[in-house]
């Protein structure tokens, strides 16, 4: 592979990692998912480079690690929200409490499945 082509790939990946970072910072999951195919293609092309040219990728390593930390944080946030929503749904159905003797009691929630219209 010619070094100009390798440098072009590295430059493309650099720009893509910056776009990914911006999307992560604003929470735009649609942009992140759209960048995934392009990122996979670039990674495959970069992996196919000769070993001597791959050493130039060290400059991108910091950006990759930074974005991975942002992705990990975003996933942790999504998991926390999902867990919280699950807890809220559970609380709507019933509430577990403990009496003075330490025995667990379940209070069933009331749900109004319909809306009543009054004239």
- Predicted pLDDT at 59: 79
Half-sphere exposure of 4 (CA within 13 A, CB side): 0
Q: Where are the domains of the chain?
A: 3-86
Higher pLDDT pick, 94 / 75 = 75
Nearest partner of 63 among 79, 42, 78, 83, judged by Cα:
42
Supply 109's token pair. Answer: 């929630």
Are 48 and 1 spatial neighbours (Cβ–Cβ below 8 Å)? Answer: yes
In this predicted structure, the answer to whether residue 109 has a pLDDT above a threshold of 90 is no
Percent of the chain past pLDDT 70, that is, above it, reads: 92
Higher pLDDT pick, 93 / 9 = 9
Half-sphere exposure of 112 (CA within 13 A, CB side): 3
The three-state secondary structure class of 19 is helix
The Cβ of residue 65 has, within 10 Å, a number of other Cβ atoms equal to 10
Whole-structure pTM value:
0.68
pLDDT digits (tens, 9 = 90+) for 13-45: 999 999 999 999 999 989 999 999 999 999 998
In this predicted structure, the answer to whether residue 11 has a pLDDT above a threshold of 60 is yes
In this predicted structure, the answer to whether residue 102 has a pLDDT above a threshold of 60 is yes
- Predicted pLDDT at 110: 67
- Cβ-based neighbours of 46, under 8 Å, separated by 6 or more: 9, 10, 13, 54, 57
């Amino acid at each position: 592979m010619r070094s100009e082509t390798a440098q072009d790939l590295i430059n493309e990946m650099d720009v893509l990692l910056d776009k990914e970072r911006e999307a992560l910072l604003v929470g735009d999951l649609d942009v992140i998912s759209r960048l995934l195919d392009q990122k996979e293609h670039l990674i495959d092309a970069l992996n196919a480079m000769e070993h001597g040219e791959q050493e130039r990728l060290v400059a991108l390593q910091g950006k990759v690690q930074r974005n991975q930390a942002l992705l990990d944080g975003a996933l942790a946030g999504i998991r926390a929200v999902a867990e919280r929503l699950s807890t809220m749904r559970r609380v709507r159905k019933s509430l577990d409490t403990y009496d003075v003797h330490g025995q667990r009691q379940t209070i069933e929630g009331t749900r109004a499945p319909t809306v009543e219209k009054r004239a």
